């Protein structure tokens, strides 16, 4: 499977604090990868480096075979808009915009607003938010916020979805619904990288990585196996 | 980006409205000041150019309370007279290049004529005049017939080509150009006609009894001097011609200029302060905005906006607010200009010529441009700060608006 995104010996440190060290990972087209690990272990930092939200202090990032970590901010911004769909840990919706407008933001940035409004509506309807199109985020529940954020991430059909703790703070039923929505993106051919504590969700990924002490490990478990076993082993560290 | 700018403005409509009002006040004050300044400056300049009189000689008993500006631009509006012999005597003085007499008849109230407002009626000597003639581009008058009048630019006429004054029909020979002085509200007839008009006045009978019949009198002599002859020497000679008082135009002009300068300074300071207040308001607004909205801009950056896009959002909002404020300010400015004119019109010493629409358009565009530039300057620092935000801010910031 050709790699859509590849990190090669990536490291990140703030002053003397090493957050990530010698990370190498490849995300194939249509592949779903889960990254699990302790809180404060650098998962979000890794995700932000994958999404070109910040540059690594060492190593290289290849997107569609092209080294992108050395590009300037404007070029990286264009790539973010074209390649990535982000679902942040918190929904990160703009309170001044309605649900529909929030979904439209990537299209406005890509200057494709007119042609995308219908798709934005369809996405929200798909996520059972058809009757909440013009609601402001303050009027939406946590689960609804997550789904609006997911719709926003999917609007431009990005080849790669980067998802940070999508089921945090959700009750099991809602978490299952959001997970299902997320994994549905795979059906469109998009690659998905999920940073999560949710072992149920991680177990449904094609590959699971564990981030520990700044290093990415590929645990010797099979994915899609017994969830409780995975959970036990994760707890064991 | 335009969609984001528009929605952000709509979301913060009260803040935007407050800033726009501040800008509108600034633009309104500056626009009205510029228009008034221009009008007064044009009036003074034109008066200086066209009014040939360096000295206005009036009877010695003309009230000192009379505004010098009125004297300068139109002669005395009082029924005070001096012997007509004063005119050739002044003409003969060494250093007097040319002189022309005027004869003031009376202020005409609305009852006296058919033009509906109070105006001043005076006689002038078309042969020697150089005061009125420069304002009459459409006619070359060397002699005015008894039934003929020249009227000022602001004298209303209801009938085409003629008017009735004290029951007599007069033909309007020409209308003087706008001077911004009392000339605009004057009717001029020839000297003999002016004397005939007042000869029958019972109110002035005492004046004629005391000073002689009107055909032996004049009200003012307007003098143009030879600059090579010392002014004091000429003034001394003028005093010797009788009970007269010469009003030196240059001194009056200087006084007017001083008054105008004070007014200009005052207007300039008020306008400058208005602009400064608007600038600080804008700066405070956009600076606070930059602090408040870093997380929001972080989202835009994360979703693919470039730092230039963020800068454009800030600048775009500044332009939109300043543009809206400026347009409202122009409407406000037009009202303020009108009110200021009403105020100034009570001071006849300020000659005023209303600026044309071209100047008004230029002033409007300039005011808009200045405030949009000020808005952009005020937004520059916040825009710069916004453009420096790391896209990863979105991952570290708390909840936001």
pLDDT digits (tens, 9 = 90+) for A129-163: 889 999 999 999 888 888 899 889 888 888 999 99
The Cβ of residue B333 has, within 10 Å, a number of other Cβ atoms equal to 28
Q: Is the pLDDT of residue B176 over 90?
A: no
Pick from B8, B303, B399: CB nearest A80 = B303
* pLDDT of B390 higher than 80: no
- In B, minimum Cα distance to A111 occurs at B1
Work out the mean pLDDT of chain A and round it to a whole number.
83
Q: Which residues on B lie below 8 Å from A95 (Cβ)?
A: 400-401
Query: Which of the two residues, B13 and B240, has the higher pLDDT score?
Result: B240
CA angle B355, B356, B361 (to 5 degrees): 100
Neighbouring C-beta atoms of residue B224, cutoff 10 Å: 18
* Res. A15: pLDDT tops 70: yes
CA A51 to chain centre: 9
Q: CB-side exposure of B148: number of CA atoms within 13 Å?
A: 14
The rounded mean pLDDT for chain B is 80
Q: How far apart are the first and last CA of chain A?
A: 30
Strand, coil or helix: what is B324? helix
Q: What is the 3-state secondary structure (H, E, C) of B85-120?
A: CHHHHHHCCCCEEEEEEEEEEEEECCCCECCCCCEE
B70 touches A: beta carbon within 8 Å: no
A142 touches chain B (CB under 8 A): no
Which of B221, B219, B235 is closest to B95 using CA atoms? B235
Contact A104, A113 (CB under 8 A): yes
Interatomic CA distance for residues B52 and B128, integer angstroms: 12
Q: Are strands B82-83 and B55-59 parallel, antiparallel or unpaired?
A: unpaired
pLDDT category of residue B240 using cuts at 50, 70 and 90: very high
Residues of A numbered 168-207 whose beta carbons fall under 8 angstroms of chain B's beta carbons: which are they?
none
Residue B14 contacts A, CB cutoff 8 Å: no
Q: What is the pLDDT of residues B367-382, one digit of tens each?
A: 888 888 888 888 888 7
Contact B304 A110 (CB under 8 A): yes
A138 touches chain B (CB under 8 A): no
Is residue B236 over pLDDT 90? Answer: yes
Return the structure tokens found at B150.
């020249």
> Are A90 and B399 in contact (CB < 8 Å)?
yes
Residue B253 confidence (pLDDT) = 62
Interface check B384 vs A, CB under 8 A: no
| Number of alpha carbons in the 13 Å side-chain half-sphere of residue B168 | 13
Ranges A119-123, A156-160, A226-230, B371-375: which has the least confidence: A226-230
pLDDT beyond 90 at B330: yes
Which of A57, A80, A108, A195 best tests the B interface by mutation, with the highest count of B CBs <10 A?
A: A108
What is the rounded CA–CA span in Å between residue B235 and residue B53? Answer: 14
Q: Which of B5, B395, B398, B399 to mutate to test the interface with A (most CBs of A within 10 A)?
A: B395
**With an 8 Å Cβ cutoff, are A73 and B306 in contact?**
yes
- Which of B4, B10, B11, B304 to mutate to probe the A interface, most A CBs <10 Å? B304
**pLDDT > 70? residue A237:** no
Cβ atoms of residues A66 and A72 within 8 Å: no
Tell me if A51 and B307 make a contact (CB, 8 A cut-off).
no
How far, in whole angstroms, is CA B307 from its chain's centroid?
A: 49
User: How would you classify residue B242: left for phi > 0, otherwise alpha for psi between -120 and 50, otherwise beta?
Assistant: left
Residue A109 touches partner B, C-beta closer than 8 Å: yes
Contact B13, B319 (CB under 8 A): no
B12 touches chain A (CB under 8 A): yes
Say whether residue A165 is in contact with chain B using an 8 A CB cutoff.
Answer: no
Of A40, A25, A5, A56, the closest CA to residue A214 belongs to A40
Does the beta-carbon distance from A97 to B400 stay under 8 Å? no
CA B327 to chain centre: 23
Contact B98, B224 (CB under 8 A): yes
pLDDT at residue A39 tops 80:
no
With beta carbons less than 8 A apart as the criterion, state whether A103 and A124 touch. yes
CB contact under 8 A, B8 and A96: yes
Entry pTM? 0.64
């Amino acid at each position: 499977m050709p790699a859509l995104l590849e990190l090669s010996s990536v490291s990140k440190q703030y002053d003397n604090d090493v957050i990530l060290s010698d990370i190498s990972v490849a995300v194939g087209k249509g592949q779903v990868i889960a990254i699990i690990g302790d809180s404060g272990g650098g998962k979000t930092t890794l995700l932000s480096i994958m999404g070109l939200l910040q540059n690594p202090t060492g190593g290289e990032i290849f997107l569609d075979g092209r080294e992108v970590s050395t590009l300037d901010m404007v070029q990286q911004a264009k790539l973010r808009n074209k390649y990535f769909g982000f679902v942040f840990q918190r929904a990160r919706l703009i309170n001044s915009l309605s649900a529909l407008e929030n979904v439209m933001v990537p299209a406005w940035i890509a200057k494709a607003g007119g042609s995308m409004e219908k798709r934005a509506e369809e996405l929200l309807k798909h996520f059972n938010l058809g009757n909440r199109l013009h609601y402001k985020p303050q009027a939406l529940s946590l689960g609804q916020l997550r789904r609006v954020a997911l719709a926003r991430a999917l609007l431009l059909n990005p080849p790669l979805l980067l998802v940070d703790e999508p089921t945090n703070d959700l009750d099991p039923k809602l978490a299952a619904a959001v997970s299902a929505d997320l994994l549905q993106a795979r059906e469109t051919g998009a690659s998905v990288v999920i940073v999560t504590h949710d072992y149920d969700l991680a177990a449904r990924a094609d590959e699971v990585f564990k981030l520990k002490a700044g290093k990415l490990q590929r645990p010797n478990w099979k994915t899609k196996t017994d969830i409780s076993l995975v959970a036990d082993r994760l707890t064991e560290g | 980006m335009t969609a984001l700018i528009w929605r952000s403005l709509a979301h913060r409509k009260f803040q935007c409205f407050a800033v726009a009002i501040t800008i509108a006040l600034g633009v309104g004050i500056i626009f009205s000041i510029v228009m008034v300044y221009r009008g007064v400056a044009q009036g003074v300049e034109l008066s200086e150019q066209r009014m040939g009189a360096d000295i206005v000689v009036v009877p010695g008993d003309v009230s000192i309370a009379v505004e010098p500006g009125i004297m300068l631009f139109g002669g005395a509006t009082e029924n005070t007279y001096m012997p007509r012999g004063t005119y050739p005597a002044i003409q003969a003085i060494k250093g007097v290049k040319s002189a022309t007499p005027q004869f003031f008849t009376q202020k005409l109230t609305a009852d006296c004529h058919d033009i509906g407002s109070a105006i001043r009626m005076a006689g002038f000597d078309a042969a020697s005049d150089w005061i009125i003639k420069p304002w009459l581009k459409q006619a070359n008058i060397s002699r005015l017939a008894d039934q003929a009048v020249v009227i000022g630019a602001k004298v209303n006429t209801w009938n085409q080509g003629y008017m009735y004054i004290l029951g007599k029909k007069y033909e309007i020979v020409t209308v003087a150009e706008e001077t911004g002085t009392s000339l605009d509200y004057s009717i001029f007839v020839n000297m003999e006609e002016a004397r005939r008009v007042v000869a029958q006045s019972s109110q002035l009978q005492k004046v004629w009894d005391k000073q002689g019949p009107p055909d032996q009198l004049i009200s003012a002599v307007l003098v143009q001097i030879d600059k090579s002859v010392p002014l004091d020497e000429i003034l001394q000679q003028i005093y010797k011609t009788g009970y007269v008082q010469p009003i030196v135009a240059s001194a009056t002009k200087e006084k007017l200029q001083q008054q105008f300068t004070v007014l200009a300074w005052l207007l300039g300071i008020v306008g400058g302060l208005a602009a400064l207040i608007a600038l600080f308001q804008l700066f405070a607004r956009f600076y606070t905005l930059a602090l408040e909205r870093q997380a929001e801009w972080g989202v835009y950056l994360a979703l693919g906006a470039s730092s230039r896009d963020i800068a454009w959002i800030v600048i775009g909002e500044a332009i939109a607010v300043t543009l809206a404020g400026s347009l409202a300010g122009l409407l406000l400015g037009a009202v303020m200009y009108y009110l200021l004119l009403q105020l100034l019109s009570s001071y006849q010493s300020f000659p005023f010529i209303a600026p044309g629409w071209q100047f008004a358009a230029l002033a409007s565009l300039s005011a808009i441009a200045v405030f949009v530039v000020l808005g952009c300057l005020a937004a520059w620092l916040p825009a710069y700060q916004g453009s420096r935000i790391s896209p990863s801010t979105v991952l570290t910031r708390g909840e936001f608006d």
